[in-house]
């Protein structure tokens, strides 16, 4: 039986602190003078993206446009598969734009790699990638996000936009989904 661990892995406060730090670092690194285009990978990105962009805006970053891709790996299992489908592409043209590509987590790395390569073909001026979470133990491709919030072990996490079978995204904290033997 799958249950949520009662003790959060990252509390709401801890997440807020880390998102603030990420915004600070991104801005120091890429500068706030030239406008950015924020591209989110749905569905998991939306809570993190909303918080990160507001922290960037508070620090004076110019966000030109925001757009989304919907990517999904097949099935509802806790193991991400390598088959990734783009269900919805960007509406905007990112040619010559400075793109901040935002996702909830980098796990095997296939999703971020595929989307980054897809977007690079459209000749943006720059693409920087940011994920809130990083599970390096599971990596199957040679890619790290340019910025990531927390490194986590090989556990399945939910909350703060992350789901299991489309559930738990609304939780304000991040916790581990555990498989507990019944009886
Ligand atoms: P890859 O393996 O392509 O996976 O880097 C990225 C996508 O897999 C999902 N994913 C998770 N979702 N808890 C989740 O709710 C997890 O622990 C987890 N690990 C991977 C997620 O959709 C991510 O964008």
Q: How confident is the model at residue 156 (pLDDT cuts 50, 70, 90)?
A: very high
Mean pLDDT of the region 107-119: 95
Q: Which residues are catalytic?
A: 107
Q: How far is the CA of 107 from the centre of ligand 1 (A)?
A: 6
Q: Would the pLDDT of 78 be above 70?
A: no
Ligand 1 atom 12 nearest Cα? 162
Q: Collect all residues with Cβ–Cβ distance below 8 Å to 183 and sequence separation of at least 6.
A: none
The residue whose CA has the least distance to atom 22 of ligand 1 is: 44
| pLDDT tens, position by position, 158-172 | 999 999 999 999 999
- Tokens 């996000």 locate to 145
Ligand 1: nearest atom to the Cα of 44: 22
pTM of the model: 0.94
pLDDT at 91 over 90: yes
Residues 58, 119: Cα–Cα separation, whole Å: 27
| Binding site membership of 131 for ligand 1 (Cβ less than 6 Å) | no
Q: What is the pLDDT of residue 141?
A: 94
Q: Which residues contact 31 (CB under 8 A, 6 or more apart)?
A: none
The pLDDT tens digits for 14-32 are 999 999 999 999 999 998 7
pLDDT at 79 over 60: no
- In the sheet that holds 157-158, the strands lie side by side as 2-4, 175-179, 157-158
Predicted confidence (pLDDT) at residue 77 exceeds the cutoff of 70: no
> What is the CA(170)–ligand 1 centre distance, in A?
16
Question: Which domains are present in the chain?
Answer: 2-179 (3.40.50.2020)
For the Cβ of 156 lying below 6 angstroms from any atom of ligand 1, the answer is yes
Residue nearest to atom 13 of ligand 1 (CA): 157
Segment 68-87 mean pLDDT: 73
Give, in order, the Cα–Cα distances in Å from 128 to each of 4, 20, 37, 145.
33, 17, 10, 8
pLDDT in tens, 38-75: 999 999 999 999 999 999 999 999 998 999 999 887 65
Average pLDDT, the chain: 93
The response to whether residue 19 sits with its C-beta less than 6 Å from ligand 1 reads: no
């Amino acid at each position: 039986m799958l249950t949520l661990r009662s003790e959060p892995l990252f509390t709401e406060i801890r997440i807020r602190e880390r998102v603030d730090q990420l915004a600070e670092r991104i801005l120091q690194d890429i500068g706030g003078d030239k406008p950015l285009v924020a591209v989110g990978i749905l569905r998991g990105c939306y809570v993190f993206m909303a918080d990160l962009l507001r922290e960037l805006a508070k620090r004076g970053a110019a966000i030109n446009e925001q757009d989304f891709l919907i990517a999904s790996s097949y099935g509802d299992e806790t193991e991400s598969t390598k088959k990734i489908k783009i269900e919805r592409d960007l509406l905007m043209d990112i040619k010559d734009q400075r793109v901040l590509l935002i996702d909830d987590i980098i796990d095997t790395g296939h999703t971020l790699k595929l989307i980054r390569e897809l977007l690079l073909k459209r000749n943006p001026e720059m693409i920087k990638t940011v994920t809130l979470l990083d599970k390096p133990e599971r990596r199957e491709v040679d890619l790290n996000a340019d910025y990531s919030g927390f490194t986590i072990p090989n556990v399945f996490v939910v909350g703060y936009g992350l789901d299991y079978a489309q559930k738990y995204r609304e939780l304000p904290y991040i916790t581990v989904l555990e498989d507990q033997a019944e009886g």
